[in-house]
Structure 1
Amino acid sequence: MTTTFKVTGRHVFNVWRIMRSEQTLGSYTFENVAFYLLRKRVPRHTPATLTRWYNSESPVHTARVLGYFRDRTVMTLDILEESETTTKTAEFARVFGVDFHSVISRGSQFKVESFLFRIAKPESFVLLSPSKQDVGKQNAAECMPLIMEPLSAFYNGPLVVLDFQYLYPSVMIAYNYCYSTCLGRVADFQGRNKLGSTDLDLPPGLLEKLQDHITIAPNGIIYVKPSVRQGLLGRMLTERDGEAGDEERQERQGALTRGSSFPYSRCLSAMSRILDARQLGLEYIASVMYGYTSATYSGRMPAVEIADSIVQTGRETLERVGVWWTCVFEERRPIPCEIQAISVIDTTAKWGARVVYGDTDSVFIHLKGKTKEQAFKIGYDIADAITAMNPAPIKLKFEKVYLLCVLMAKKRYVGFKYETPDETEPTFDAVRRDGVPAQTKMTETCLKILFCTQDLSENFIFAKEVRMGTYRRGIACIAMPGKVQAIRLISDKVPLPPGVAVAARRILQDENDEPQYGERVPYVIVCGDSHTRLVERAIYNVNHQTIAHRRVLLHYQGADTPAGAHLANRFKIYEHFQSARCLTCSCTAQDGKLDLVCWIDTDVLLGICEACHANLQVTIPTLLLRLRKGEQMLLSASSEPIACMNIECPWLYERTKAEQKLDFLEGLRTLIEDLDVS
C-alpha cells in the first residue's frame, strides 16, 4: 500500500492500493471511488487534453488544468478521511505495537510477532528464527479443512446458514494449542519428534508425569492443558479481546450516564470510530494467527504440526457427532473428541433438518416444509445446542436465512436473505465483480423473476427481449474487467489476454500510462469477422458467458434452455437493409428512397418524401420550426466541446447523443438550403 516515492518526515500512501484492499468495487479508478465514497461525479481528462490546455495561450485553459489537479488532490484527502484510513492505521499501530508506517508496509507475520514478543518476553521465551532451508525441510501438511460438495439445486424452502465464530482462534483457545504447550507426537515419525523446523528433545519421564494433564489433537500431537501452562497464542487472543471489550463497555456506559443533554449517538461519534478500528485490528490478528503457524513457504516461525492440529480439530468440530477416538499412549484410553455439528443436525428428528453444504466453518441447513418463522427458531436452537456441546469459546453463530435460494457449487450461491425474524423485505445476496455489468444485471433480473414468480415463461420472455444490443447505458455496462498482473512483450506467436493487450497498447502510446499491478483494465469485444479468434468475437463471449451462465442458473429449476444460447446470433431481416423516413410526415418510403436525402446516421436515411417535396410552402416552415427548436436548445451549450472521458458517468453518453443531434441539425440546415435553391 506504499509507494516507491519517498519523502523524509512524511508518509506517502498509494491510495489506489488502500482502496483496493478496503473497498469492494467493480472498478477502482479515481472517478469511481470518488463517486461511491463521496457521492460526487468527477471529470476525467486524457493526458493529451491536459497537455493541450496547459500549453494553450488562453489563461482559462491553464487555470482549468491547475484547478483539475487541485480538485483531485483535495478529493484524495477527502477519500482518505471518508474511509478513515488514518484513524484505522493509528489504532492498528497501537494494537499491534508497531510504528505507523509498518502497519501499511509490513505483512501479517511482522504484526503477529510484534504481538507475540510482548507476551513471550515476560515468560522468558525466545522466538525461533529458522532459515529458509530449515523452513523448506518441514514435514508436509497432512490435514485439510472440510469443504463439502454442495447438493446443487433450487431450494424453495428455508436454508439456514450457521457459522462458527472465529473457529480457528477459538480452537486454539479451547484446546490450548500453542508453541509453548506442544510436546510433539504420540509416536515418533521416521525416528524424529519434529515440531516445525526443529526437533523436540523431551526429558525422560515427562509424558508419564503429565499423562492426566495432556490433550491429544486429532493428528496425534500432544499439548498440555491450561492447568499446566496456558499457551501464548491463546493468551494473545483472550487478553486483547478482554481489554477491548472492557474499554468499549466503559466508554458506552459513560456515554449513557451523561443523559439526554448529551445524545448517545453524538457522544459516540468519535469514540465509536476509534473502537471500531481497534476491533478491526483485533479481528485481523485473530484471522491471521493460524496463517502464521501454517506459512510453510515464507514463514518466519511456522509449525505445520500445530497448523494441522487446528485444521483437523476444526474439521471434526464440523463433521460428525459422538466419535470416540483412541489415543496411543501406554494404555489404550478412549478420549472423547469434540462434539461434531453436521451429524448432530442430520440425526436430530425434532429439527427435521438436513445439511446440504459445509465450508470450513459454516453449514447450510435445509428445512423442508418449514416457514420463515420456524426456520429462525430452529436455527437459533441448533446454534445453541451445538455451542453447548463444544468447549468455550467455540460458538456456533446464527447468520441468516435464505428463503428461495440457488445453490450451484462451492462458494457459489444466491438467494433472498433474511437476517432477522421481523425483516419483511429480503436482501438479494449475490455479489460478483468478475463479470460484465450487463451480465450481472441480466442475471440478477432473471433470478428475481424466478424467485418472485417461479414462472419460467416470464424468464423466457425476459431472455428473449433483453439482448446485449438493447442496453443503452454506455460502454461501461458491457466493458469486461481484465486484471493485469504482468505485461509481456507483444508477440504474434503468443496471444495476450484482452486486458493485457489493451494495457500494452496504452503503453506503446504513452510509456507512463502503465496500469497498477492487479488493476482491472476494461475492454469491449466487438463483432469480429470469420478470421479472428473466438475469444475476440462478441457473439462467442455472449453465448459462453452471459447466456450460458443464466442457462445454468435456470437449469436448477428444471428448465432446459438450449435455444437461449443462440439468441445473440439471431438477426432480423430489416437489419440488413437501410430504411428511409420523411422528416416532415414521418412516413417510410416504400421503395427505400426519398427525393432529397441527408445522412444522419448509418442506420436511417432522413429526407422528405415526394408528397412533401411537392408542397414546399408547408414543408419548409415545418423544417425551419424544427431547426429553430433545436438551435434554442443549443443556446445554453458550452462554447467549446467538453473533453471529459469518464466512461462510468452516464452524462458522457447523454452528451454523445446530444452531439449526434447537433450533426442532425447541420444536416437539416443543408437540406433546407437545398430546398430553397430548388
Structure 2
Amino acid sequence: MMAYNLCYCTLVTPEAVSKLNLPPECVNKTPSGETFVKSTLQKGILPEILEELLTARKRAKADLKEAKDPLEKAVLDGRQLALKVSANSVYGFTGATIGQLPCLEISSSVTSYGRQMIEHTKKLVEDKFTVLGGYECNAEVIYGDTDSVMVQFGVPNVEGAMKLGREAAEYISGTFIKPIKLEFEKVYYPYLLISKKRYAGLFWTNPEKFDKMDTKGIETVRRDNCLLVKNLVNECLHKILIDRDVPGAVQYVKNTISDLLKNRVDLSLLVITKGLTKTGDDYEVKAAHVELAERMRKRDAATAPNVGDRVPYVIIKAAKGAKAYERSEDPIYVLENNIPIDPQYYLENQISKPLLRIFEPILKNASKELLHGSHTRSISISTPTNGGIMKFAKKQLTCIGCKALISKSDQTLCSHCKGREAELYCKTVSQVSELESLFGRLWTQCQECQGSLHQDVLCTSRDCPIFYRRKKVQKDVAEAYRQLERWNF
C-alpha cells in the first residue's frame, strides 16, 4: 500500500484518467485492473498512516532489544504487536464488506500485488540458485502464502541454508519498489508440510540450536478440539521432529488410543469447548453446544451459559444412531451422575483426522497402522448411573474385599475376607491418603492461579482442565471417606 500509493484518495476510474489527461508515468495499474495515482502526484492518507505505524513499531522493536527488565520487555513486546495488528488492520478494514470504510478495489489490489510478488520471487529464486549458476543444488520454492515464501535450497546443514536465505532476500529485495523488501526470517529443519496453512517444523534462527518447535494450523494451536487431541498431536510432533523417532510416535498413538477405548483417559482431557454466538433458534443446523445450552437452561436458567460464553461439553454414550448434538452433556453433570463417555466418538471424530494429516506423508498406510489392530479393541465398563432404571434399584452393602453382598449394615467384610482385615484396612487408608494428597495439590494449584494461598477457591473456569480434575478428585475423596467410615474401629 505504501509502495504503490493505494488509498481512497488516490483511486481513479479509467474515465477520470482520460478526463484529467493523466500521463501513464503518473498512475499505477494494479494486477487486478484498478488504477491509482502515484505519490509524486498525490500522496495517499493510508500510506502516511502506515508509515507512522511501522516507524513506531521499528522503534519499539529496537527498544525491546536493549531492554533488560522482564516487565519492560513484556510491555515493549505488547506494544510492537499492537502496532503490527494496527498496521495489518488498515488493509483488513478495506476488504470488510460490512464496516465503516470498505473499498474492495484497495484490498483486491493488495492481494493481487502480493500474489504477483510471490510468483516473481519464485521465478528469480529458481532461476538464480541452480547448479548451473554455481550453487550446490537447484533451489525450489515449495510453499508461498500471503507475504512469505519457503525455499528448499537442498544444502546439508542449517548454516548453509541461512547463508543462502540471506543472499536470496538481499537479491530479490533489490528488484522491488521501496519500501518493499524481502527479509530472511528463519530456517525450518526438519519441516513437515501437511497442506496449505498447515505445517510444523523446528524453528532455527541460530545454526547452533533450534529456538522452538513451530506449528501453524495444526491442532496444537486450535481451540475447537479437546485437550487430548492437542497433547497427542504435540507429543507426536515432538517425537517425529525433535527425537526423530517415528516408530516411537506410532507406538505412543497406539497406547493413547488403547487407553481411550479402555476408559483410562481423564474426563478433563475430553472436554470440548465452543462459543455460543447466538441463541438456539438462530442456528440453521443443530449443534452440540447449542442444544446443551438449551437443556442446561431448562435445568437451571441461573447457571446456564448465555450468548458470548464458551460452552464446555463431552459426548456421552446413547442409543445407537443418536446424533452428536443429542449426546452432548455438561462435564460436571456427567461427573455427578456417573454417565459413561463415548470413546468411539472421540476416536472417529476428534483424533483420527489430525493424526492422519500428520502421519500420511510419513507412513505408507497410516490409517491401517494407526486406527486398526489389537490396540483398537474396546471394552465395556458398566457404570452405575443415578438415572433411568437405577432410580428404582435398591442399593445394598458389599464386602470391601471381594464385593460380595452383605446382609448386616454394620458389617465391613464377608466371612471369606475376615482374615485379610488388616491388609484391606491399610489399603483403604492408603487410598484415602493418596486422594487427599492429590486433592491438596490441585487445590493449591488453583489457589496459586487466583493469587492467594489463604482464601477459598472460587474459580469456575470451565476451560481449565484442573477444574474438572479437582471436581472428580473431590468426589472420589468423599467416596473413599464413606468406605473408611464402614470400618468399626
Q: TM-score, normalised by structure 2?
A: 0.72
Matched-pair contact (CA < 8 Å) for 1:175–1:225: yes
User: Is the aligned partner of 1:477 residue 2:284?
Assistant: no
Q: Secondary structure at the match of 2:274?
A: strand
Q: Distance in 2 between matches of 1:525 and 1:385?
A: 55
- 2:206 aligns to what? 420
- 1:397 aligns to what? 183
1:500-649 mapped onto 2 (5 Å cutoff): 500-533=290-323, 536=327, 538-560=343-365, 561-562=367-368, 564-566=370-372, 570-571=377-378, 610=416, 613=418, 615=419, 619-620=420-421, 648=464, 649=466
- Structure 1 counterpart of 2:354, one-letter code: H
Q: Deviations over 1:234-286 (max 9, x none)?
A: 2222245446757997x899xx9xxxxxxx645x966x777666545543442
1:6-45 mapped onto 2 (5 Å cutoff): none
Q: Deviations over 1:376-431 (max 9, x none)?
A: 22222222222122121112222322212321222111222223334346425342
Q: Secondary structure at the match of 1:571?
A: coil
User: Is the aligned partner of 1:372 residue 2:162?
Assistant: no
- Structure 2 counterpart of 1:664, one-letter code: Q
Q: Distance in 2 between matches of 1:461 and 1:515?
A: 40
Q: Structure 1 pair 238/406, CA: closer, same or farther in 2 (3 Å)?
A: same
- 1:60 aligns to what? none
Q: Distance in 2 between matches of 1:478 and 1:366?
A: 39
User: Is the aligned partner of 1:287 residue 2:88?
Assistant: yes
User: Is the aligned partner of 1:653 residue 2:461?
Assistant: no
Matched-pair contact (CA < 8 Å) for 1:437–1:478: yes
C-alpha displacement of 1:555: 1.3
Q: Distance in 2 between matches of 1:443 and 1:375?
A: 28
Q: Secondary structure at the match of 1:173?
A: coil
Match among 104, 117, 123 for residue 304 of structure 1: 104
Q: Structure 1 pair 632/453, CA: closer, same or farther in 2 (3 Å)?
A: closer
Q: Distance in 2 between matches of 1:439 and 1:635?
A: 29
C-alpha displacement of 1:646: 5.6
Matched-pair contact (CA < 8 Å) for 1:630–1:665: no
Q: Distance in 2 between matches of 1:427 and 1:345?
A: 27
Matched-pair contact (CA < 8 Å) for 1:402–1:417: yes
Q: TM-score, normalised by structure 1?
A: 0.53
C-alpha displacement of 1:174: 1.2
- 1:487 aligns to what? 279
- 1:459 aligns to what? 249
Q: Structure 1 pair 462/318, CA: closer, same or farther in 2 (3 Å)?
A: same
Q: What percentage of aligned pairs have identical amino acids? A: 24
- 2:45 aligns to what? 232
User: Is the aligned partner of 1:180 residue 2:28?
Assistant: no
- Structure 2 counterpart of 1:216, one-letter code: K
C-alpha displacement of 1:316: 0.7
Q: Structure 1 pair 362/518, CA: closer, same or farther in 2 (3 Å)?
A: farther
Matched-pair contact (CA < 8 Å) for 2:428–2:480: no
Q: Structure 1 pair 461/288, CA: closer, same or farther in 2 (3 Å)?
A: closer
Q: Which segments of 5 or more consecutive residues in structure 1 lack a partner in the other structure?
A: 1-171, 186-192, 194-199, 257-263, 320-339, 600-605, 673-678
- Structure 1 counterpart of 2:378, one-letter code: F
Match among 106, 110, 123 for residue 343 of structure 1: 123
Matched-pair contact (CA < 8 Å) for 1:248–1:275: yes
Match among 234, 240, 244 for residue 450 of structure 1: 240
Q: Structure 1 pair 487/634, CA: closer, same or farther in 2 (3 Å)?
A: closer
Q: Distance in 2 between matches of 1:643 and 1:222?
A: 60
C-alpha displacement of 1:524: 0.7
Q: Structure 1 pair 609/570, CA: closer, same or farther in 2 (3 Å)?
A: farther
Q: Secondary structure at the match of 2:194?
A: strand
Q: Distance in 1 between matches of 2:383 and 2:310?
A: 39
Q: Deviations over 1:501-531 (max 9, x none)?
A: 1211222233344535443311111222325
* RMSD across aligned positions (CA): 4.3
Q: Distance in 2 between matches of 1:490 and 1:562?
A: 41
C-alpha displacement of 1:432: 1.9
- Structure 1 counterpart of 2:345, one-letter code: Y
Matched-pair contact (CA < 8 Å) for 2:189–2:202: yes
Q: Secondary structure at the match of 1:404?
A: strand
Matched-pair contact (CA < 8 Å) for 2:435–2:473: no
Matched-pair contact (CA < 8 Å) for 2:6–2:46: yes
C-alpha displacement of 1:443: 1.8
Matched-pair contact (CA < 8 Å) for 1:490–1:496: no
Q: Distance in 1 between matches of 2:61 and 2:150?
A: 33
Q: Which has the higher contact order (CA 8 A, sep 6+)?
A: 1
Q: Distance in 2 between matches of 1:217 and 1:634?
A: 68
Q: Structure 1 pair 234/440, CA: closer, same or farther in 2 (3 Å)?
A: same
Matched-pair contact (CA < 8 Å) for 2:185–2:205: yes
Matched-pair contact (CA < 8 Å) for 2:428–2:483: no
Q: Which segments of 5 or more consecutive residues in structure 2 lack a partner in the other structure?
A: 328-341, 385-397, 441-455
- 1:130 aligns to what? none
Matched-pair contact (CA < 8 Å) for 2:202–2:210: no
User: Is the aligned partner of 1:665 residue 2:484?
Assistant: yes
Q: Structure 1 pair 414/520, CA: closer, same or farther in 2 (3 Å)?
A: farther
Q: Structure 1 pair 559/528, CA: closer, same or farther in 2 (3 Å)?
A: farther
Q: Deviations over 1:106-141 (max 9, x none)?
A: xxxxxxxxxxxxxxxxxxxxxxxxxxxxxxxxxxxx
Q: Structure 1 pair 490/570, CA: closer, same or farther in 2 (3 Å)?
A: farther
Q: Distance in 1 between matches of 2:52 and 2:461?
A: 50
- Structure 1 counterpart of 2:138, one-letter code: G
- 1:52 aligns to what? none
Q: Structure 1 pair 487/376, CA: closer, same or farther in 2 (3 Å)?
A: same
Q: Distance in 2 between matches of 1:627 and 1:313?
A: 72
Matched-pair contact (CA < 8 Å) for 1:482–1:500: no
Matched-pair contact (CA < 8 Å) for 1:438–1:468: no
C-alpha displacement of 1:354: 1.3
Q: Distance in 2 between matches of 1:635 and 1:306?
A: 63
Q: Structure 1 pair 359/241, CA: closer, same or farther in 2 (3 Å)?
A: closer
Q: Distance in 2 between matches of 1:627 and 1:571?
A: 30
Q: How many residues align?
A: 425
- 2:445 aligns to what? none
Q: Distance in 2 between matches of 1:450 and 1:401?
A: 17
Q: Distance in 1 between matches of 2:357 and 2:184?
A: 30
- Structure 1 counterpart of 2:43, one-letter code: Q
Q: Secondary structure at the match of 1:393?
A: coil
Matched-pair contact (CA < 8 Å) for 1:218–1:309: yes
Matched-pair contact (CA < 8 Å) for 1:598–1:607: no
